[in-house]
Structure 1
Amino acid sequence: MSNGKMVVSASVMGSKNVNIDTVIAGIKKNNFVVVGRAGMDLFPHPAGTKTEEATDFKSDLGGSSANIAAGICKFGGKASLVTTVSDDSVGRFCLNRLDHYGVSREYVRSIGGEFRNSLALYESRVEDHQSVIYRNGAADFEMTLEDVEKVDYSKFGALITAGTVFAAEPSRSAAFRAFELAKEAGLPVIFDVDYRPYSWPSAEVAADVLSRAGAQSDVIVGNDEEFGFMAGGIEKGLAKARELAETSASIVIYKMGEKGAITFAADEKIETGIYRVEALKPTGAGDSFMAGLMSSIADGHDLRSGILRGSACAAVVVGKPGCAPAMPNNEQLEEFLSTHPGPSKP
């Protein structure tokens, strides 16, 4: 490592990482190490209230990685979070909510000083929706090499992370190191691109780093804009997804919003639709999709079914306030599937 940049060995870039059977076998262990942030979510109550007019707010766990971990635990799986939180009341709030959802915080470290947990303030309404994210001096960006090197990766079946973890140092180098250690332990690496421009110093840095992370991942999930961003233009996004599936990743899921998704896996192209609902808000769908996808595969569903069930989880979450509290458990998902007319045509 030099000048704050991780030097990645050739052995983990530019070649097929592991085959799809190995990836599925790791996911089926249903025990995930999840690298990335936990934060606080605040949303005006009741639903439909503008932030500037609110007098009451609900609070809960936030942060992409923490949300994914909470969703997996709600489905009965196991998840351990690796991150750093501020040593203050907000950090302790996050720890308490991790406990509430059953997420292990064995590898969560509290840090002092001026670092603060992220805060997401978003509304439960679609029209003129407003989200305000506070990320100055983010505590989770202080995750270090030492933090990820303390993890016993042999206990887990797969590693999951989201793109924000790579947005700043020392978290960036720590996350790349976690990838290396996971691979050494035989774990597939599952990467949600999750590009958030406000977290990055520049678009150029983001494109370079996210592309490097993608090249080291066995499962990549992103939307058309995110793949397009890595490729240098949204019109090139689908080709980028296909290229990653052909060269390094075993499963690549290219999400297209209301148009559904295209998945490349083991020389197969899977096209799936979405579950249309009356959305209450536009946030939380991606985290719920990942939790539902992983949990469904772990429970024995094939890839196509897992993608559709993940899409159903996303539909459930956008129809309720909050993210982690809105994520379904098995019973709630089955009830949704039994009462919904079914997915759209891809």
Structure 2
Amino acid sequence: MSSGFAFPEGRALDFVSIGRLCIDLNANEIHRPLEETVTFTRYLGGSPANITVALARLGAKTGFIGKIASDGFGRFIRRYLEEAGIDTTSVVDDATGAVTGLAFTEIKSPTDCSILMYRDNVADLKLTPGEVGEELIASAKALVVSGTALAASPSREAVFAAIGYARKHGTAVVYDIDYRPYTWANRDEIQTYCALAAEQADVIFGGIEEFSLLEPKTDAPFDEAAVVARWLGHRAKLVVVKRGGDGSVAYDADGGVFPGRTFPANVVKTFGAGDSFAGAFLYGLQQGWPVPKCQDYGAAAAHIVVSSHSCSDAMPTRAQVEDVLRMVGALEV
């Protein structure tokens, strides 16, 4: 039942993340298209930010490496991270006039949600290798890398510098493919740079579409077993395929296959589920839990987030996750 993977011990921090810090503006008038939406509520956004908040809420000691705009949104992001207990010593202020990325969400129905992104000249993609805190990475058990940060330079080089520091200091690397079409120049770049990151990762998260983008373009159907075997043949000890409403399947380097379930929810919106799942799963993995228990924790966290208006604000505490597990009869005593 175990993944066969263990994090290094004796570190001040459990997880340090690198990547996108932005603003989510979620529609308050749900069940209507964006053109009929009048008001929005502001939240911290960005998959790596959400995952880090999820980990912090569950009790993990966390830090973040990133770049924010020198504006009100940037100041909001820094304050939010600090109030969540996340180390921001490696969150730097941009001095070039770059802006904060914005994500406007449209919630037409529980199953029909979309995001309108504004990502031109964003601060998070301006992070340089020289701004990556080696000491912070060396102090952490794991580095969490977001694939979106690989979409453009100099952020791309900063991420690979961070991975290099992690390898140097024995810090585990967790890679969330986090594919977003709005920042990549072409498919060849996606395949090249995302695959290079995956080759250096100890744990990989992604959906079926995301994993397929890491493969050479072909008309052949997606072969999940072959794709997973490829990444387990590099450094990965654990590969987690997220399947949305159908749960997840985790594969470990010892040949273990672990189907994960979902729990019924009163769904408000679909986005945020993957981030909450990854955060709670990683929390459990760092605790040394069996993979199925990690999956249940992730599923319970996702249950809470999809039932809520926000992503980051809705990331649950351990008590809230265990309330859900107790409700569905899945809490291990």
- TM-score normalised to structure 1 length: 0.87
Deviation by residue 1:131-173 (Cα, 9 ceiling, x = unmatched)? 1111111111111111114543221111001110100000101
Task: Give 1:324's aligned residue.
Answer: 312
Task: Give 2:229's aligned residue.
Answer: 242
Q: Which moved more, 1:308-317 or 1:296-305?
A: 296-305
Task: Give 1:304's aligned residue.
Answer: 292
The Cα of 1:46 is off from its aligned counterpart by 4.8
SS of 1:324 mapped into structure 2: coil
Task: Give 1:84's aligned residue.
Answer: 67
Aligned residue pair count: 324
State the AA in 1 paired with 2:295: I
SS of 1:153 mapped into structure 2: helix
In 1, Cα distance between equivalents of 2:167 and 2:225: 27
Structure with the higher helix share, 1 or 2: 1
In 1, Cα distance between equivalents of 2:287 and 2:33: 40
- Whether contact under 8 Å (2:90, 2:133) holds in the other structure is no
Q: Rate the CA distance shift 1:326–1:90 in 2: closer, same or farther, 3 A.
A: same
The Cα of 1:99 is off from its aligned counterpart by 1.9
Q: Rate the CA distance shift 1:256–1:28 in 2: closer, same or farther, 3 A.
A: farther
**2:246 counterpart of 1:262:** no
Task: Give 1:4's aligned residue.
Answer: none
**2:59 counterpart of 1:59:** no
Deviation by residue 1:302-323 (Cα, 9 ceiling, x = unmatched)? 2221122112211211111111
The Cα of 1:288 is off from its aligned counterpart by 0.6
**2:26 counterpart of 1:39:** no
Task: Give 1:176's aligned residue.
Answer: 160
SS of 2:41 mapped into structure 1: strand
Task: Give 1:120's aligned residue.
Answer: 103
The Cα of 1:241 is off from its aligned counterpart by 1.5
SS of 2:125 mapped into structure 1: helix
Task: Give 1:196's aligned residue.
Answer: 180
Q: Rate the CA distance shift 1:151–1:28 in 2: closer, same or farther, 3 A.
A: closer
Q: Rate the CA distance shift 1:298–1:75 in 2: closer, same or farther, 3 A.
A: same
In 1, Cα distance between equivalents of 2:299 and 2:111: 22
**Structure 2 counterparts to residues 14-25 of structure 1, below 5 A:** 23-25=6-8
The Cα of 1:72 is off from its aligned counterpart by 0.8
1:218 equivalent among 192, 197, 202: 202
**2:280 counterpart of 1:292:** yes
In 2, Cα distance between equivalents of 1:150 and 1:98: 20
The Cα of 1:340 is off from its aligned counterpart by 2.4
Percent identity (aligned): 29
Q: Which moved more, 1:307-316 or 1:329-338?
A: 307-316
- Whether contact under 8 Å (1:280, 1:319) holds in the other structure is yes
SS of 1:206 mapped into structure 2: helix
Q: Which moved more, 1:244-253 or 1:329-338?
A: 244-253
Task: Give 1:228's aligned residue.
Answer: 212
Q: Which moved more, 1:123-132 or 1:110-119?
A: 123-132
Gaps of 5+ in 1: 1-19
- Whether contact under 8 Å (2:12, 2:139) holds in the other structure is no
Q: Rate the CA distance shift 1:210–1:306 in 2: closer, same or farther, 3 A.
A: same
2:82 equivalent among 99, 106, 123: 99
Task: Give 2:140's aligned residue.
Answer: 156
In 2, Cα distance between equivalents of 1:325 and 1:238: 36
In 1, Cα distance between equivalents of 2:24 and 2:318: 24
In 2, Cα distance between equivalents of 1:82 and 1:324: 17
In 2, Cα distance between equivalents of 1:30 and 1:334: 24
Provide the aligned C-alpha RMSD in A: 2.2
The Cα of 1:334 is off from its aligned counterpart by 0.8
In 1, Cα distance between equivalents of 2:97 and 2:71: 10
Q: Rate the CA distance shift 1:273–1:21 in 2: closer, same or farther, 3 A.
A: closer
Deviation by residue 1:263-298 (Cα, 9 ceiling, x = unmatched)? 111311222222232321110011111110111223
Deviation by residue 1:29-86 (Cα, 9 ceiling, x = unmatched)? 7621111111111112254454333333211111111111111111111111100011
In 2, Cα distance between equivalents of 1:319 and 1:78: 26
Q: Rate the CA distance shift 1:331–1:311 in 2: closer, same or farther, 3 A.
A: same
Task: Give 1:336's aligned residue.
Answer: 324
In 1, Cα distance between equivalents of 2:159 and 2:132: 8
SS of 1:61 mapped into structure 2: strand
State the AA in 2 paired with 1:335: D
- Whether contact under 8 Å (1:227, 1:238) holds in the other structure is no
